Amino acid sequence: MKANSEFEAHMKSRILFVSGHQEDALRLSEMLHSLPVVLDHVSSMRQTRAKLRQCDYSVILTEARLPDGSWLDVLRVARQHSGGMEVIVTDPHADARLWSEALNLGAYDLVSQPFYEPEVRRILYYACSRTSREQSAAAV
C-alpha cells in the first residue's frame, strides 16, 4: 500500500457500512479509526436509502444478506445516485461464485468475513482512490 499521506489524500469522502451486525461495525470502525474517513453504519435497505438522500459517499460496504434486501438492492440504489460510488460486498461465506457474480454485476470487490485489516484497508484505499479520480475527471 502507498504511504499513509497518499492514502489520506484519497480518503476525503464517507464510507457507508450496511450491516445488521453492530459488532462488525465496531470492528470496522476500530480498523479505520486512524484514517481520515467518516464511517457511517446502517442496518437495512430502508436506512441505506435514507442515508443516501442525506450524504454523498465514495464507497458502500454492504453485507450480502440484509434484513430487508441484499447486496444487489444496495447496488441498484447506489447506481441511481450520482457520484459514481463503489459498492463492495462482504460475506462470511464468500466464495468464488459470489465473487464472480458480484464483479460481473458491477460491484467493486468482495471482502470475506471476519475482516482481515490489511485487506480491508487496501480494498477501501483503492475503491476511494478510484472514486476520487472519477470525481476529479468529471469536474474538469
Residue 13 confidence (pLDDT): 66
Give the pLDDT confidence of 55-67 residue by residue, as tens digits. 999 999 999 999 9
- Give rounded-to-5 percent helix, strand, coil for the chain: 50, 20, 30
Tell the CATH topology of 4-139: Rossmann fold (3.40.50)
Tens of pLDDT along 1-26?
444 544 444 446 699 999 999 999 99
Q: Where are the domains of the chain?
A: 4-139
| Grid cell in block for residue 132 | 476520487
Grid coordinates given for 79: 447506481
Under the banding of pLDDT at 50, 70 and 90, the label for residue 81 is: confident
Better-predicted residue by pLDDT, 37 or 26 = 26
- Answer whether the bond into residue 114 is a cis peptide, omega within 30°: yes
Q: How far apart are CA 32 and CA 4, in angstroms?
A: 12
- In this prediction the pTM is 0.86
pLDDT of residue 37: 86
* Residue 76: alpha-carbon gap to chain centroid: 14
Percent of the chain with pLDDT over 90: 71
The cell 479505520 sits on which residue?
Answer: 32
